[in-house]
Amino acid sequence: MSLKLHCFGESGNSYKAALALELSGLAWEPVKVDFFGGETRTPAYRAEVSVMGEVPILVDGDLRLTQSGVIQDYVSEKSGKFGGRDADERREILRWVFWDNHKLSSAAGMTRFLMNFLPEDKRPTEVIAFQQGRLKAAYEVLNDHLQGRDWIVGDGITNADLSCCGYLYYPEPFGFNRTDWPNIDAWLTRLSDTPGWKAPYDLMPGSPADRA
């Protein structure tokens, strides 16, 4: 039985889970969630899919998991990949996953949404500028950490990499230019050169082009 991931292409958090599944070799299939049509805000979605009204949601038989980091951890449990070689690595991976969720992805996701998915006359310029300042600080942390390293933790891809890259492959502008951050740029290239890697809109159903 395939794992089912409720997701949509524009969601960076969904991409973290989908990429982990794709690179793990586990059998899985995406289930499109019509976020922009309001599906996650319906009583039916909250009752039947996620009480939090969010994506991604992983369904494995009777098991239902929410939050990308939890899903990535479950993928590691089932596949034996991306979770670290020992307890020290596992803690370090979790440290970076939590950091990403709080410092990088939260700001990147909000900034990208405000800049690309709201009508132009409703985009809050001061909020966007504030968020981009937060993002610059996060990019500096990640870029400095990757100096002399191929991967964020250890000597191979882990959930730390799969979490921190979640929004950085999207084509919509939100103030991130890879050329400004050479260590991040090289890391993203290594990751995208990995056999089986796919870009967000190639991996999950749904893209801005569908609504154009």
- Read off the pLDDT of residues 166-175 as tens digits, 9 standing for 90 and up: 999 999 999 9
CATH number for the domain running over 3-81+198-211: 3.40.30.10
CB atoms near residue 68 (< 10 Å): 31
1 pLDDT above the threshold of 90: no
pLDDT tens digits along 131-161: 999 999 999 999 999 999 999 999 999 999 9
In whole angstroms, give the CA distance from residue 120 to residue 88: 46
- Bridge partners of 30? 5
pLDDT tens digits along 54-67: 999 999 999 999 99
In whole angstroms, give the CA distance from residue 18 to residue 20: 5
Contacts for 43-47 with beta carbons within 8 Å, 24 or more apart?
none
Handedness of CA 156, 157, 163, 167 (dihedral sign): positive
CB 131 within 8 A of CB 124: no
pLDDT value at position 211? 86
pLDDT tens digits along 85-137: 999 999 999 999 999 999 999 999 999 999 999 999 999 999 999 999 999 99
Tell me the domain boundaries of the chain. 3-81+198-211, 87-192
CATH 1.20.1050.10 fits 87-192, yes or no: yes
pTM of this prediction? 0.97
Where residue 212 falls among pLDDT bands split at 50, 70, 90?
Answer: confident
Sheet holding 57-60, edge to edge: 28-32, 3-7, 57-60, 63-66
Q: Mean pLDDT score of the chain, rounded to an integer?
A: 97
In whole angstroms, give the CA distance from residue 55 to residue 17: 10
15 pLDDT above the threshold of 70: yes
pLDDT value at position 26? 98
